[in-house]
């Protein structure tokens, strides 16, 4: 699940989802509530809630996950501290790679006639 090429699910698992309201195209099973739909702009997860019309309390909530988002039952699920460490390691690697590329570019310019 820790795919270095697809950061979106990782970012959501580490930082939380980036919800925005989305069109609601469903009807609650029980009357007396307002259906609300939210979609994560990074992972594509959908959160569907029913808000009580009188109190505004969340009456029910369910999530819909895109394929590949959830861990398989027998798949290792990293702890948050492991996810943070992997994130730090990846950022450090990217920064170092960027510095190496900049140094190479600078050296080529200096060597050019």
Confidence of residue 5 (pLDDT cuts 50, 70, 90): very low
pLDDT tens digits for range 73-109? 888 888 889 988 888 888 888 888 888 877 777 777 7
Domain tally, the chain:
2
Statement to judge: residues 110 and 68 lie in one domain: no
Give yes or no: residues 14 and 31 share one domain: yes
User: Are residue 7 and residue 39 in the same domain, yes or no?
Assistant: yes
Q: Is residue 64 domain-shared with residue 105, that is, in the same domain?
A: no
* Better-predicted residue by pLDDT, 30 or 7: 30
| Same domain as 102, residue 91 | yes
pLDDT tens digit sequence for 52-79: 988 999 999 999 999 888 888 888 888 8
Q: Does residue 9 share a domain with residue 47?
A: yes
Residue 12 has pLDDT above 50, yes or no: yes
Query: Between 3 and 49, whose confidence is greater?
Result: 49
d(C-alpha 12, C-alpha 21), whole Å: 17
Range(s) of the domain holding residue 102 = 78-113
Q: What is the mean pLDDT of residues 41-60?
A: 93
């Amino acid at each position: 699940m820790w795919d270095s090429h697809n950061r979106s699910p990782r970012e959501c698992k580490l930082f939380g989802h980036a919800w925005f309201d989305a069109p609601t195209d469903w009807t609650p099973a029980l009357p007396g509530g307002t259906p609300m739909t939210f979609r994560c702009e990074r992972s594509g997860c959908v959160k569907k809630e029913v808000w009580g019309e009188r109190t505004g309390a969340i009456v029910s909530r369910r999530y819909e996950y895109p394929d590949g988002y959830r861990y398989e039952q027998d798949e290792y699920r990293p702890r948050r501290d492991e996810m943070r460490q992997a994130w730090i390691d990846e950022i450090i690697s990217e920064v170092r790679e960027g510095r190496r590329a900049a140094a190479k570019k600078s050296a080529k310019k200096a060597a050019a006639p």
